[in-house]
Amino acid sequence: MSQAAAPFPWRAALHEGLCRMRLDPKTFWAMTPLELAIACGLHGEAPAGGAPDRNALLALMRSYPDRERGSDPAGGGPRGGG
């Protein structure tokens, strides 16, 4: 005998979409259940490794600065030095 599928969790979906994500009703009802699941992070696996640690983040910041080194629109010198 096969087991019946669980009903769709409408209360949880409505709460997540309308309350937590603050979607307007028109946008919420235009989404497919798969789109909602992806937006909520419920479909598939999370990226491996999680967030970078402090040293990895600092290395990324050095490699990809927000602006060119030595340029500061306020005239205060290099970022972090002024």
Q: Domain of residue 31: give its range.
A: 10-44
Token pair recorded at residue 51: 């967030």
Tell me how many domains the chain contains: 1
Rounded Cα distance between 32 and 9, Å, is 14
Report yes or no on 31 lying in a domain: yes
SS3 state at 13: helix
Report yes or no on 17 lying in a domain: yes
Report yes or no on 68 lying in a domain: no
Report yes or no on 81 lying in a domain: no
Report yes or no on 18 lying in a domain: yes
Over its length of 82 residues, how does the chain's per-residue pLDDT go in tens digits? 567 888 888 898 899 999 999 999 999 999 998 888 888 887 765 556 677 789 988 998 898 888 766 665 555 555 555 4
Report yes or no on 26 lying in a domain: yes
Q: Do 10 and 30 contact (CB within 8 A), yes or no?
A: no
What is the separation, in whole angstroms, between the first and last Cα of the chain?
A: 72
